[in-house]
Amino acid sequence: MKYHHNSAIIPSFVLSAFLLIMFVSCGQKQEYTQPVIEKITESVYASGYLKSNDQYQVFAKANGLLQKVWVKKGEEVKKGQLLFTLSNEVSKLNAANAQLAATNADYHGNLDKLRELDLAIEVSKKKMENDLLVLERQQKLWAEQIGTKFELEQRELSYANSKSTYESAKLRYNELKKQLSYSSEQSKKNLSISQSMLDDYNVRSEVNGKVYSIVKEQGEMISPQTPLAILGNAQSFTIMLQVDENDIVKVIPGRKVFITMDSYKGQVFEAVVDKVNPLMNERSRTFEVEATFTKAPELLYPNLTLEANIVMQSKDNALTIPRKYLIDDEYVMMSEKKKKLVKVGLKDYQKVEIIEGLTKEDKIMLPR
């Protein structure tokens, strides 16, 4: 009895479900449409952001305590303008010592030493010349057999000694001159190096632009790996776009771009592709594309997000249907519920161009 009772219930349940499905299906209205002739523009979608031209992170060249912040966030600055000052007493002392050494070793400050040797040269030269005259006179007397051999030899020895003293004085003069010149140049270079190292504690702007961010505060310890601020050009911006690897081969410099931004809702701005960076981001599988506004909005900021459509090609009088009516990118369902092969052309996000297979009089069904 139990077996016969269950077998009677199951068919009734199945029948009820079938009737319910049929009722719902019959209640759904079938959607139809016909091709229309209109303009269609094929484009590649990309997301992106704005980057200030010459935008860069500011870094110090040395370790130190942030002693002074000379600028404020949002301030316009000139190239070379002082932004931050770091303190380092050791470098200041080194620079001061280098200054003292340079002053002490200065060539012109040591001319007295050269004049002293120059005077010694003059004295030894006069003595040598005088000894030569005495020698020549003694040689004449000796030729006339006047005087002794010993006297002649004494005069020759005196002349040789005075000549040697003269040559030695000249050598000492030239050697001191070289030494003073070398010491002077070396001390000046050491001073220049010390002053350059001291200037590393003054951080200056590399561009004419705006201070967009100040990361560190006065009193903090700073290292060359620590960013201090972000600067960039306040008048010129580059559009940085991320394009999917499937679309990148279609994107080339010169393509027109239509930009929309949340900051300017309801407005569309034109731009042009400038550059396609050839290295793919392996994580996002995208390529970076740079574009420039043909007419930029009045006010822009770095890192504003945006969306873009990069125009591939456009056609004014194209036969189009909604993309949702296309089956497997090559078929449509005719009103008599038969599939038909079509040849498609341009596509946008809502419609597709039909090149062959349909006319504007045909009626097609929305596939289910």
Q: Residue 13: its pLDDT value, please?
A: 46
Residues in the chain: 368
Q: Can you tell me the distance from the alpha carbon of 201 to that of 71, in angstroms, rounded to the nearest whole number?
A: 16
* DSSP states of 170-223: HHHHHHHHHHHHHHHHHHHHHHHHHHHHHHTTEEE-SSSEEEEEE---TT-EE-
Q: Can you tell me the distance from the alpha carbon of 368 to that of 364, in angstroms, rounded to the nearest whole number?
A: 13
Q: Can you tell me the distance from the alpha carbon of 91 to that of 77, in angstroms, rounded to the nearest whole number?
A: 27
Average pLDDT, the chain: 84
Stretch (H or E) spanning 67: strand 64-69
| pTM score | 0.54
What is the sign of the dihedral through the CA atoms of 141, 147, 153 and 157?
A: negative
Q: Residue 2: its pLDDT value, please?
A: 40
- Tens digits of residue pLDDT in 176-229: 788 877 777 777 776 666 555 557 788 999 999 999 999 999 889 988 998 999
Q: Which residues contact 216 (CB under 8 A, 6 or more apart)?
A: 66, 69, 84, 222, 226, 227, 228, 229
Strand partners, 112: none
- Tens digits of residue pLDDT in 123-149: 989 999 998 998 888 889 888 888 888
- Tens digits of residue pLDDT in 299-347: 899 999 999 999 988 889 999 999 899 999 899 999 888 999 999 988 8
Q: Residue 30: which pLDDT band, with cuts at 50, 70 and 90?
A: confident
Q: Can you tell me the distance from the alpha carbon of 43 to that of 26, in angstroms, rounded to the nearest whole number?
A: 39
Q: Can you tell me the distance from the alpha carbon of 121 to that of 127, in angstroms, rounded to the nearest whole number?
A: 10
Report whether pLDDT(15) > 70.
no
Q: Which residues of 180-209 are buried (b: 16+ CB within 10 A; e: fewer)?
A: beebbeebbebbeebeebbebbbbebebbb
Q: Can you tell me the distance from the alpha carbon of 322 to that of 352, in angstroms, rounded to the nearest whole number?
A: 6
Which residue is it, tokens 């932004």? Answer: 83
* DSSP states of 240-266: EEEEETTTGGG--TT-EEEEE-GGGTT
Tokens, residue 103: 């002053």
Strand partners, 214: 229
- Greater pLDDT, 14 or 78: 78
The identity of residue 254, as a single letter, is G
